[in-house]
Structure formats: structure tokens, C-alpha cells
């Protein structure tokens, strides 16, 4: 069987104080801050047309839908085309890599910072090819990452498979 034929993973959140259960289907990955209760971020699987493998590969490069959820009150914020995420230890910041959507000419690769306390999203870098190795200081005041910005290197790498 192919990977597309298998069921997708689900995420269950159990509330021990009030015996509640929240089930979220089709979850690819999730992240929680190490030292803060409340915020949760999870990637959802994309719904793909699996008949064309190149199309599926292009969509994977675009990232997927990311849901930021406050576990305590259930509020959610949806972001599209997100490929990477990292929470600060204290849960105040979530650093995200946004990917260019193939069908939207205005979208660009970028680094986003979501401030959980203010429910605010900022773009801190644009137009790189790839952003990686996110790091956030313990107080959630500084963000560091590496970026590949050379478009020639990207095109050469694609040609020399």
C-alpha cells in the first residue's frame, strides 16, 4: 500500500480537571512550549490530488496549514503555507517559516513571529530560499536563524540531481 492509503494521525487533548476530550483529525505534527501551559501549534495534512507525484511534491514544498490553539479556551488561529515552527520555552513566541504558495504571486518565503500573549503575527524576514535552525532566547526577546538567500545556488541544486 501507498502512504496516502493509510489513515492520518490524530491528536487527542484530555482535560484532567473537567474530564474533557478534544480530538483533532489529520495532524501531521504538533509542538508545545516546554514551560508554559495553554498554547499548542499543529500542522494539518494537506488534501492532495495524489494522481500526480510532481504536484504533491510541489505542495509539500509549500508547507501546510498550521493551527495555533489556546488549549484553555479553545480559540484557534489558522495560518497557511507554514513548513517549520518552534516555540520559545516560556510560550510567548512561536517562530514560523512561511513558504511561497505556487498559486499566489504575492506570497514569498518568510520568517514569522507569533506573539501568543497579544495574538499578534509579525514578519521579520522575507525572500530567502530557505530558513532553518530557529533559536529563541530564554526570555523570548531575541530570535536567531540561518537563511539561504542565494537564488543561483538553489537553481543549480535543482539542475544537478
At 151 the pLDDT is 62
CB-count burial class (<10 Å; 0-12, 13-18, 19+) for 26? middle
Q: Residue 139: name the closest of 74, 107, 84, 91 by CA.
A: 91
Please state, in angstroms and rounded to a whole number, the distance separating the CA atoms of residues 63 and 45.
10
pTM, full prediction? 0.77
Encode the chain (161 residues) as per-residue pLDDT tens digits.
777 777 778 888 888 888 888 888 889 999 999 988 878 999 998 765 444 444 444 444 678 899 999 888 889 999 999 999 999 999 999 999 988 877 766 678 889 999 999 999 999 988 788 888 899 999 888 999 988 877 655 555 555 44
Neighbours of 42 (CB within 10 A): 19
State the DSSP H helix or E strand holding residue 56, giving kind and residue range, or none if neither.
Answer: helix 53-61
Amino acid at each position: 500500500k501507498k502512504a496516502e492509503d493509510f489513515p492520518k494521525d490524530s491528536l487527542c487533548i484530555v482535560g484532567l480537571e473537567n474530564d474533557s476530550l478534544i480530538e483533532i483529525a489529520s495532524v501531521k505534527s504538533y509542538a508545545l512550549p516546554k514551560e508554559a501551559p495553554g498554547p499548542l501549534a499543529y500542522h494539518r495534512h494537506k488534501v492532495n490530488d495524489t494522481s500526480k507525484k510532481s504536484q504533491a511534491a510541489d505542495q509539500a514544498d509549500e508547507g501546510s496549514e498550521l493551527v495555533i490553539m489556546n488549549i484553555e479556551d479553545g480559540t484557534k488561529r489558522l495560518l497557511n503555507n507554514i513548513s517549520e515552527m518552534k516555540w520559545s520555552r516560556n510560550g510567548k513566541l512561536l517562530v514560523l517559516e512561511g513558504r511561497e504558495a505556487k498559486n499566489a504571486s504575492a506570497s514569498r518565503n518568510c520568517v514569522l513571529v507569533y506573539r501568543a500573549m497579544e495574538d499578534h503575527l509579525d514578519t521579520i524576514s522575507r525572500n530567502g530560499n530557505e530558513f532553518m535552525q530557529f533559536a529563541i532566547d530564554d526570555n523570548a526577546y531575541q530570535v536567531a536563524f540561518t537563511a539561504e538567500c542565494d537564488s543561483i545556488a538553489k537553481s543549480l541544486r535543482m539542475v544537478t540531481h
